[in-house]
Structure 1
């Protein structure tokens, strides 16, 4: 009889210990994976079953250790473990409203002081209430804790099992033939003519001006460039901005993500643009780590007749398992933890995009990786054709770079990241000059967007054979709508079909411009994510119209004159 009671006691302890471990190490990573597997790029087998086995083993070990503790100490330990399990479950299920997991927000996670304090109070109150139960007789406490733990575990187990039938084959096996962007020519330029477009993600004008104050010499190597200090992104967010700036196709919120991206690459004006580039003997190479932001759920075949480095992904796949396990656990902790601790587990987007790599097709996206490869391999010349190279780099999406463009956890800031980026750009330009390819190159350094409250972004341009004694600056009110026409203009062609060039606007000119900023509007129904795997984190666009510069935009942002346009579905 005593042996039977001992087994029941062990199982009672086991289910209490299992709850937080299962939530944190199994349910959390699995939910995150099945909601994002098309972006993560690896299969569930790479980590899922290992996490499941580990969770039950560690629960068994901890429960055995608890069994040898004195009853009073054991009771308090179980109460704290139960508190972590219940509070973490409530945090994950009910308190993480619109929490960004996959780099939706460019800035690192932060919560308001009030939200952090209230959240901490909730966790503390739960702890006090649970410890209060320790005053009850031991058997009654065990019954309450084990039954409620068992109920919540059962609910999670049902949810866990339901995730598998709803996922498609891509979650469990790698495709035999899959298109990708080939990175083998990322450092190749033409000995004839070049258009080189650097798209530095999330590079707001404010970041640039702040860095110049710290590093006055920041742009000394850009003396032949013109800096546009009043440049507008049109759309905040890499979606839809990246597809817009590459194709020139303006957003149509009445279309789904897939339909709009299809329109971007197949409309008549875009076809004419890429046909013109081809007729001028330009090879167009695009380098970005996540192609779904340009295609949605469509195949890269959508780009195949326009972007030249679309190829079949090599079978040589490398997985950084240490980064994989750490990333999935960190993302789960990020959901699970109270607000105060979330910043410590906020995974940077360049981390999860670099878990899987294809050495034969590798595309460098992190600033420091791009720079390191630039130093080691250098630029090479090709005399077979002209090159149009689009480098989409991480920019200031996170502050991950020191002033020497190295990853250095001790010396990371906005200013050091910007300085590191310009260190990288300066070396790139120096290598162009050494190869004799600088003068024949049109070089544009810009971004897809700024920050949500400061969406204006950097824009520098040096055209072919342009020289100055020092960098020029203009407040001409340009937008990314003018990028494609400006490129056409640089070819010496009539650009009227494509819109206005940046040269059609003058320094100090007033111009009405419009910015779309994604939002979750509680008065509107939620929308699905474009991939059908989860609900969208946003459901509408806030549309602001302003005349002037950044100050006038800020006035519009905090004013009442805003139009809200519902989404059909959401990329994020």
Structure 2
């Protein structure tokens, strides 16, 4: 039988069909996916769309044109089989992204990384196998239907994706598309991160996402962690009040309780502009305290407002240099990794889950360096050491990455491939040991009030660590108590430490005794299907949560866990969402 000649018309028809099937997953995975992730989280990233977006689009187009051309060399049936499998992969990925990723956190709030139970992984794998098997069977047994089905469905999906892609730009905030002139813009200065007072100090370490269960686990492996903490009291029954760096960090710094009847922006404005907060910072000023705050994401404290909100209270609010450096290799890798994480089956998601320190280190400001990761803070501490200033007392707040992810070893060196919860905790206390030793070497340890805590623990175990050493406090060994304290007590405890009457602000941690019963409530942010979706605080995209589940308990972590595991909570709807 003579082989039918390929005419220019039939070649073009086959080429365009192939191009459609090849371009769809490239566009979905390499263009629309990263773009949607970016526009949904641009305020977290610090770079703008043109830093990667148009490059991704160009590469996807060129790759599609080239791959489609190469596939024309392949005989018709094997080529159609390849395209059918690619189509099945695309359909499964689309369904995964749109319908099966319910409550999927995109930018890593879990220290443990992404996890799914075995049943979910197996069912998800079966779903993917069924889709892929169906695509092969249609190709083999329904050849006439195959081409029409692939053409129609791919055209519809590509059209949906392109419309969605265009709509991202129509609703985008201007700051996602172009840099503003940052000369003269307010920012937190990192210049004094390693400077303390030669007089009196209050030092507050806020180690992000540090559950007290993480401490217990690590202590079992490294019992020597308490050696440098002999003068501290460990409160092993400490409640965070709010799970999440928002709203917890603003609450810690102002003492202002969350008002779910207010929007994110209005509540944050209230935090910094109320009589109690104003009086608190006036007391610190009266006692000659310079308040320096070191945290990488200021929108947690200001929402869409500027740092002018903190002026007059936080002393290292200054002007930002426009000097900015971008690690383009890390940027490209991170955006594609996030897209894979969203697109791929459950089994593969843990391999592509992006940790917090990865995306926050894409952009750096060499003229205004601020250390946030445990290992970078420790490295600079070793390199430069602490320095002293005699002009004032210092209240220093160090918000570090803590156990937001497990990426450092027991020596506090970056080692993401081998790090565990225990090594990360041990590494953090290696860093803290060095810091405390430098305080002693400089002769300012005894005269310092030091608190080592966290903004929250993990979602299911939201209690966090809380260590405290008061001024001139000494013990032979670390003390431990199960007194029922809360981060609601932090501001009163600071006021107590400077020798003022703290009772207008509430109760100090010292007001509670071991085994005491106390009513405490923790707010856990959730996506509750009983309530409508809400916008994010910037008004651009849909928020990841729409309510809080409030757990009220009277005892210890065990009692809180019982309520959480059995779903005994009070739901509270919100107006908008930070996350």
TM range, smaller chain: over 0.9
Question: Corresponding residue for 2:389?
Answer: 382
Distance of 1:109 and 1:94 partners within structure 2: 18
Residue 42 (structure 1) aligns with? 47
Structural mapping, 1:372-411, within 5 Å: 372-411=379-418
Pick which of 497-506 and 112-121 moved more.
Answer: 112-121
Please state whether the residue corresponding to 2:225 is helix, strand or coil.
Answer: coil
CA contact (8 A) 1:199 1:392 kept: yes
Contact 2:407 2:417 in 1 (8 A): no
RMSD of the alignment, in Å? 1.4
Give 1:142 shift: 2.7
Hey, what does 1:169 align to over in structure 2?
174
Shift of 1:548: 1.2
Compute the displacement of 1:36 (Å).
1.2
| Residue equivalent to 1:153 | 158
8 Å Cα contact 2:550/2:569 also seen in 1: yes
- Displaced runs of 4 or more, over 6 A: none
Q: Distance in 1 between matches of 2:110 and 2:410?
A: 24
Aligned with residue 364 of structure 2, among 357, 365, 387: 357
SS at match of 1:134: helix
- Structure 1: 5+ residue runs without aligned partners? none
Give deviations 1:62-89, integer Å, cap 9, x for gaps.
1122111222321221112111211111
Matched positions, count = 572
The residue aligned with 1:525 is 532
Offset from partner CA, 1:446-488 (integer Å, 9 cap, x none): 0111111211111101111111111111111110111111111
The C-alpha deviation readout for 1:258-283, integer Å capped at 9, x for no partner, is 11111111111000011111111111
Matched, 1:132 2:131: no
Corresponding residue SS for 1:329: helix
Query: Are 2:287 and 1:280 aligned?
Result: yes
User: How big is the shift at 1:385?
Assistant: 1.1
Structure 1-normalised TM-score? Answer: 0.98
Q: 2:520 aligns with which of 513, 522, 525?
A: 513
Alignment partner of 1:100 out of 100, 105, 117: 105
Cα displacement (A) at 1:214:
0.4
Q: Does 1:496 align with 2:503?
A: yes
Specify the alignment match of 1:71 in structure 2: 76
Instruction: Give the aligned partner of residue 258 of structure 1.
Output: 265
**1:470 corresponds to 2:477:** yes
Q: Tell me how far apart the structure 1 counterparts of residues 111 and 261 of structure 2 sit (CA, whole Å).
A: 25
Contact kept, 8 Å, 1:189 with 1:387, in 2: the verdict is yes
- Deviation of 1:341 after TM superposition, in Å, equals 0.7
Task: Report whether the alignment pairs 1:457 with 2:464.
Answer: yes
Shift of 1:423: 0.2
Tell whether the 8 Å contact from 1:36 to 1:533 is kept in structure 2 after alignment.
Answer: no
- What TM-score results when the alignment is normalised by the length of structure 2? 0.97
Structure 2 counterparts to residues 117-128 of structure 1, below 5 A: 117-128=122-133
Q: Is the Cα contact below 8 Å between 1:13 and 1:146 reproduced in 2? A: no
Q: Do the aligned partners of 2:212 and 2:236 also contact (CA within 8 Å) in 1?
A: yes
1:486 paired to 2:493: yes
Number of the residue aligned with 1:445: 452
Q: Is the 8 A contact 2:230 2:477 kept in 1?
A: yes
CA distance in structure 2 between the aligned counterparts of 1:314 and 1:498, rounded to whole angstroms: 38
Greater CA deviation, 250-259 or 141-150? 141-150
